[in-house]
């Protein structure tokens, strides 16, 4: 898995971030532990408010104890558009779609 490659490339206490299918989170967490990448944060990404997360963003630190914090889910869409939360988290999602005045 790519976690092994990250372990080899990161410096001591370097940060590792990935996006992963939510249904496979337990497999990712066990792999992170085996590779001594301590999970720091998990951000569930759901298509819309009230729907189950399909992906998770995970932040880990090399050679650090797991001190994992589960964040509130981030809905990506509001109707057909990006949600305000998604645009606040990653402003470039709206690039090229600015409102015309």
Residue 81 structure tokens: 């558009």
pLDDT in tens, the chain (101 residues): 688 898 899 999 999 999 999 999 999 999 999 999 999 999 999 999 999 999 999 999 999 998 999 999 999 999 889 999 999 998 888 886 655 44
pLDDT at position 2: 86
Distance CA 22, CA 46 (A): 10
- What pTM was computed for the model? 0.86
Token reading at 74: 């981030």
CA pair distance 61, 81, nearest whole angstrom: 33
Counting every residue, how long is the chain?
101
């Amino acid at each position: 898995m790519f976690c092994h490659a990250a372990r080899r490339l990161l410096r001591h206490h370097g940060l590792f971030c990935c996006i992963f299918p939510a249904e496979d989170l337990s497999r990712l967490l066990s792999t992170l532990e085996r590779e001594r990448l301590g999970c720091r944060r998990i951000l569930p990404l759901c298509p819309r408010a009230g729907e189950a997360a399909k992906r998770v963003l995970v932040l880990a630190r090399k050679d650090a104890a797991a001190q994992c914090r589960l964040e509130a889910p981030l809905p990506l869409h509001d109707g057909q558009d990006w949600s305000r939360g998604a645009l606040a988290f990653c402003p470039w999602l709206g690039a090229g779609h600015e409102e015309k005045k």
